[in-house]
Structure 1
Amino acid sequence: MSKEEKHIEININEEEEINEENQRNADEHSGLRKASRILVLFILGLLAACYYIFVVELCMLTVEVLEAKVTFLVIFHLLYLLCLWCYLRTVITPPAVPPAQFRLSEADKRLYLSDERPEVLQEILIRMAKDLPIRNTRGARRAIRYCMVCQALKPDRCYHCPVCDICVLKLDHHCAFLNNCVGFSNYKFFLLCVFYALLMCLFTCAVSLYYSVLFWAHRLPNTESKVPIIVLFVITALFSLFLFLFFLFHFPLATWNQTARENSDDDGESNPYNLGCSKNLRQVFGNEMRYWLLPNFSSLGDGCSFPMRDATEDIEKNAALVGISPEDPLTCRSCQASES
């Protein structure tokens, strides 16, 4: 048995163990999905409540200076709409999955089912791996990774999400606040959502704090708007702290071209995808900076292959890889549908 075959065999055993664990936790994952749906509705309701308090109770009923009222409303609506737009894009964008060429064909499935010996599957996987752009096999065993659940070889940076029960390209993490996986197809939207939500909370917190102090100092009359404005300050202060810590964790990862999953699995090796801060950010936000702050898909690549630091010797090949920018990163779903 060759070295490559051993790696694949070991990895198959590991994936079987993961699959068994996923089956044991199926009820837990199902409960998490249901709770996540409720959490998304809660967040949308909270956004609606904050909108009402800021616009009606604070700006319309409390702020007396017209210039201040208009300024507050313009800034708040700009940040609010951008935050909501990015949040909804992150929630409704389906995770990108490995394209058809990474999955067992119907002929290979029939071949394996007719003779379920591990050697048969090994031969199939070795043949498939030779024709696929799998360039980085991380970990001590340097094994090609195969998912027993999805019956597919995993592209670079692809992981199986036990909650969604699919393999996700460039999986960052599964987010309960989104009821969705954050990965190649919506990573840019996620970062922008955190960024705009942080700005909106900081702005709302500062304005509501100012008028809360005026209420407590008796420089404003005691009206029914006092309590909602103080509640708004408390909520936005807590969310500002949470989002600031969240941003402090995720934005540096983007500048290092590293996902949260890769960061948690860090085995002490240098990150092969770190091309430098500028190129790393372009991988996520695209080459045209005018689109960086808009929640449109502009990330580079196809989600299966990524430029690596040790591949820079082949300049033309690496440049071509960096320049790929598909119009729809989810076309692999149609490939998958056509296969089934």
Structure 2
Amino acid sequence: MYRSGAVMAWNVFRFCTALRGLGSIMILLVLGVVGVSYYAVVLSIYGPALTSGGLDSFISLAVLLMFHALLVMLLWSYFSVVLTDPGGVPPNYRPLVDEERGDVDQLTGSEFTQLTTPEPTNTRVRYCRKCNHVKPPRSHHCSVCGRCVLKMDHHCVWVVNCVGALNYKYFLLFLFYTLLETTLVTISLLPYFLAFFSDGEIAGSPSTLATTFLAFVLNLAFALSVFGFLIMHATLVSGNTTTIEAYEKKTSPKWRYDLGRKRNFEQVFGTVERYWFIPAYSEEDLRRMPALQGLEYPSKPDLDSEES
């Protein structure tokens, strides 16, 4: 019995290690898709067409401007997710709010001591037995990262990082700009893709034609998959939940963090409109919105009173 449990733990460890190693490959894959798309759209088709004159030059200029603008935003958002720590539990964290009952009094020394024991008897706040510390509201333990992540949504191998409180907005913007970019590339290459199935001759070298065909297929596949993923996350944002919390809500008739669609949106993107579509927050929002720091979250007053 002990042996099977040890083997299971060892296999899980290998799986988590494999996921960490897979992330570096995923970054190269993302950059590879970007490179193939850039070669097909900019270097092979629309770049040379700029000098053709007339309507073709105008269309080429419009496509190239949109392509580069979206590419900048896509890469900015992507590397913001990759390089931004999603948020970890601060050392010696003490909860100021009782997540279960809505109390606003800080835990006393004796209560906090009970929580730091291997078998905590105080169930008023959440405790991680893997990290051996108190967990802030809405945080979860990530087996891949080996720590608790603030407002954890999921661990994403595509960004070699957890998606949590401090980079969830950047992740959503990455999905948004990826959808726009891949859709633009798909539409731009569609006439040349259809030409493969026509009876006429196709201009270009074999390598150029192969790259164009590959770029179209890859961008179409990414556009369709990202569209469904973005719709799912838009639904989660509208209800102020994460992917993990969406399963928890099934057993809870009321979700205390659902503040209405507008406020739910602001809990992720902030209140300053000019910052909504860039992977950054205003100093004003960072100063006055605790939810953006990942430790405290506003909830419905009526539910707080019911639970207290």
Change (3 A) 1:92 1:287: same
Which of 205, 227, 238 is matched with 2:186 structurally?
205
Q: How far 1:217 moved relative to its partner?
A: 4.0
Which of 97, 108, 130 is matched with 2:88 structurally?
97
Which of 12, 35, 60 is matched with 1:48 structurally?
35
Check the 8 A contact 1:256/1:277 in 2, yes or no. Answer: yes
- For 1:201 and 1:247, locate their aligned partners in 2 and report how far apart those are by CA, in whole Å: 13
Q: How far 1:42 moved relative to its partner?
A: 1.7
Aligned partner of residue 277 in structure 2, secondary structure:
coil
Aligned partner of residue 99 in structure 1, secondary structure:
coil
- Structure 1 match to 2:228: 245
Amino acid at match of 1:146: Y
State how 1:61-80 maps to structure 2 within 5 Å.
61=48, 64=52, 65-80=56-71
Change (3 A) 1:208 1:311: same
Which of 264, 272, 278 is matched with 2:256 structurally?
272
Check the 8 A contact 2:77/2:174 in 1, yes or no. Answer: yes
Check the 8 A contact 1:273/1:307 in 2, yes or no. Answer: yes
- For 2:11 and 2:134, locate their aligned partners in 1 and report how far apart those are by CA, in whole Å: 23
Deviations 1:166-194 (A, max 9, x none): 11111111001111000011000000000
Task: Identify unmatched segments of 5+ residues in structure 1.
Answer: 1-19, 104-122, 131-140, 315-340
- For 1:257 and 1:193, locate their aligned partners in 2 and report how far apart those are by CA, in whole Å: 19
- For 1:97 and 1:201, locate their aligned partners in 2 and report how far apart those are by CA, in whole Å: 33
Which of 306, 310, 313 is matched with 2:301 structurally?
310
Q: How far 1:142 moved relative to its partner?
A: 6.7
Q: How far 1:161 moved relative to its partner?
A: 0.5
Which of 222, 229, 237 is matched with 1:254 structurally?
237
Mean alpha-carbon deviation: is it higher for 34-43 or for 82-91? 34-43
Matched, 1:178 2:138: no
Aligned partner of residue 238 in structure 1, secondary structure:
helix
Change (3 A) 1:81 1:218: farther
Change (3 A) 1:297 1:220: farther
- For 1:245 and 1:277, locate their aligned partners in 2 and report how far apart those are by CA, in whole Å: 20
- Structure 2 match to 1:107: none
Task: Kindly report structure 1 stretches of 4+ aligned residues shifted beyond 3 Å.
Answer: 20-24, 61-64, 214-221, 297-300, 311-314
Task: Identify unmatched segments of 5+ residues in structure 2.
Answer: 1-6, 95-107, 116-121
Q: How far 1:312 moved relative to its partner?
A: 8.7
Change (3 A) 1:84 1:273: same
Check the 8 A contact 1:194/1:243 in 2, yes or no. Answer: yes
TM-score with structure 1 setting the length: 0.71
Deviations 1:215-248 (A, max 9, x none): 5446774322333222211111111110011101
Change (3 A) 1:313 1:32: closer
Check the 8 A contact 2:169/2:268 in 1, yes or no. Answer: yes
Aligned partner of residue 295 in structure 1, secondary structure:
coil
- Structure 2 match to 1:82: 73
- For 1:269 and 1:291, locate their aligned partners in 2 and report how far apart those are by CA, in whole Å: 34
Deviations 1:17-38 (A, max 9, x none): xxx9766622221111111221
- For 1:204 and 1:35, locate their aligned partners in 2 and report how far apart those are by CA, in whole Å: 27
Which of 210, 225, 232 is matched with 2:215 structurally?
232
- For 1:54 and 1:276, locate their aligned partners in 2 and report how far apart those are by CA, in whole Å: 42
Aligned partner of residue 77 in structure 2, secondary structure:
helix
- For 1:21 and 1:268, locate their aligned partners in 2 and report how far apart those are by CA, in whole Å: 32
Check the 8 A contact 1:156/1:305 in 2, yes or no. Answer: yes
Identity over aligned residues, as a percent?
A: 31
Q: How far 1:45 moved relative to its partner?
A: 2.1
